[in-house]
Every structure is written in C-alpha cells, then in structure tokens.
C-alpha cells in the first residue's frame, strides 16, 4: 500500500472512532436533539452537523491540500477528495434505533482508495484500502458464499426520492424467489454487513456518494461485486447501488433492474 494511503487509512479510522464517540454520547444522553427537516422524512440534527465539522477539521489538519464533500456541508467534485456521511441512518438515530454509522471514504483518480464505516453502538470499525483487503477491527472479512436468492438475506433500501413502483417490484420479485428482505436504514452500515457476510446483498435505486463509497470499497475488498457507481454518475448526483457476492450479483441485478456493469 502506498504510504500516503496507509496514513489516510489510519487517519480515517481514528477520526471515525472519535466522531462515532461524539454521536454515541448524544445518542445515549437524555438531553433532546435539535431536529429539523431537509425534506419529507429527511431529518437532520445538530449532531449530524457537529460530527461532520469535527471530521473535516481533523482530516484537514493532517491533509491541508485535500478537499471535502460532506452530506451536511456540501462540496465539489475534486481529485484527492474525502467523502463523508457523519451519521448514516439519521432517521434511526433520532428514534433511538442503534443501526447508524459514520462513513468516510477517500477517492483519488476517480476510484475509492480508503473506506471506513464505524458503528458507534456496536463499537465496530470496518475498514478497507484499495488492493489491501477489508477488515472488521483488524480481522479480515469476506462476503458470504450465498449464490441464490432462495437462501439469501438481502436489504432493499428505499427513500422517498425513489419510485414506489420500482421498489415494490423489486420486493415482489426477490420475495417471489424466496429471498428474506429487510430495510434497516443505514446504507453504509448495511454495505459493511454485506462485506462481512452478515447479509448477502444490498440494493437501492438511488443513494449519494457519501452513503455508498466507503461501503462499496468494503464489499469489493471483501471479495464481493458492486455496480460501477462512480463510472456512471457524477459524484454529486449519486447513483443506484447494487452489492453482493459474485454468485448473487446477477440475480440481484435482475430483480432490482440495476445493472451490475
């Protein structure tokens, strides 16, 4: 691994833990959150903004020439870019549901080089670096060996931007082939769960780069497949996401209508 990637991986791991600890303190605190809405069912809290500011401040102090794209503070397409979701799963967070995560990716040359997803309540840190594998807390992780939907436990993500008909069709087709289906509410954390084989696949009609990039690298480095998320979209517009073990990717592509190529 190139030295600067090793440094960036270590920095991302440290800041994800620190940011996650901040989110965990407020999650467990009795003091009310300041919640507002960016759109229908699209919560944002004071913690989302504070966590994102902390991550950027920390990374900028080590890598002053890098650029940043965060869900709450925005940013531009750029080489040597950190892409940050301070709390992925804010709807869970505000309701006291522990399935949420901090997601940090570093991209250069239009490819994800480093991806870290931290689950603060489980205290699990998922990390990957391009070409070097994926780990949960230092232990190598791998996608499952499941190769047909009749044995698969999959997540079909959805948000209010997406077309209801496509969502329902995907559920109908996947369930019709015997898949067990969830919607857990943090794309980043669920992609990490695909990477370690806790679930077998993930798809959603549209997510943003900050929801998906760290998890995409985790899945690929854990031996799984994803759609070419960055090749077919601008970074800012987002894209559909499809992620599964090699033996399941085609079946998940067929039921979701999301191309694996």
**Among residues 159, 167, 157, 163, which one has the least CA distance to residue 188?**
157
Q: Which positions from 142 through 161 interact with ligand IPD, judged by CB under 6 A?
A: 157-159
**Among residues 204, 249, 241, which one has the least CA distance to residue 223?**
249
Query: What's the full length of the chain, in residues?
Result: 261
From candidates 8, 27, 85, 221, binder to Ca ion by CB under 5 A: 85
Angstrom distance (rounded) from CA 238 to CA 210: 9
Q: Is 52 in the site for Ca ion (CB under 5 A)?
A: no
From candidates 52, 200, 204, 211, binder to Ca ion by CB under 5 A: 211
Q: Is 119 in the site for ligand IPD (CB under 6 A)?
A: no
Q: What is the CA radius of gyration of the chain?
A: 17
For residues 12 and 114, the answer to whether their CB atoms sit within 8 Å is yes
From candidates 71, 200, 204, 221, binder to Ca ion by CB under 5 A: 71
Tokens representing 169?
Answer: 């069709």
Angstrom distance (rounded) from CA 180 to CA 3: 42
Give the range of 63-71, 73-81, 121-129, 236-244 binding Ca ion by CB under 5 A: 63-71
159 binds, among ligand IPD, Ca ion, none (CB under 5 to 8 A by kind): ligand IPD
Residue 103 Cβ, how far from ligand IPD at the closest point, in Å?
Answer: 8
The residue (of 2 and 161) whose beta carbon lies closer to ligand IPD is 161
Q: Which residues bind Ca ion (CB under 5 A)?
A: 71, 85, 87-88, 211
């Amino acid at each position: 691994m190139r030295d600067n990637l090793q440094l960036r991986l270590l920095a991302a791991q440290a800041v994800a833990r620190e940011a996650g600890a901040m989110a965990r303190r407020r999650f467990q605190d009795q003091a009310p959150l300041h919640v507002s809405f960016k759109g229908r069912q699209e919560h944002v809290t004071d913690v989302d903004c504070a966590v994102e500011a902390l991550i950027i401040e920390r990374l900028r102090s080590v890598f002053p020439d890098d650029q940043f794209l965060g869900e709450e503070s925005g940013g531009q397409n750029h080489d040597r870019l950190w892409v940050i979701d301070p709390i992925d799963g804010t709807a869970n967070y505000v309701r006291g549901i522990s399935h949420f995560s901090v997601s940090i990716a570093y991209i250069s040359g239009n490819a994800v080089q480093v991806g870290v997803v931290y689950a603060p309540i489980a205290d699990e840190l998922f990390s990957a670096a391009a070409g070097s594998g994926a780990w949960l807390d230092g232990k190598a992780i791998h996608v499952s060996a499941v190769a047909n939907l009749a044995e698969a436990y999959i997540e079909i993500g959805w948000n209010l931007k997406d077309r209801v008909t496509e969502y329902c069709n995907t559920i109908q087709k996947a369930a019709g082939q015997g898949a067990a289906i969830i919607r857990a509410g943090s794309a980043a954390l669920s992609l990490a769960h695909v990477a370690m084989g806790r679930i077998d696949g993930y798809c959603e009609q549209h997510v943003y780069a900050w929801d998906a990039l760290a998890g995409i690298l985790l899945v690929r480095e854990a031996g799984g497949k994803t759609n070419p998320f960055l090749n077919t979209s601008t970074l800012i517009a987002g894209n559909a996401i499809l992620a599964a073990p090699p033996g399941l990717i085609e079946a998940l592509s067929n039921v979701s209508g999301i191309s694996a190529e």
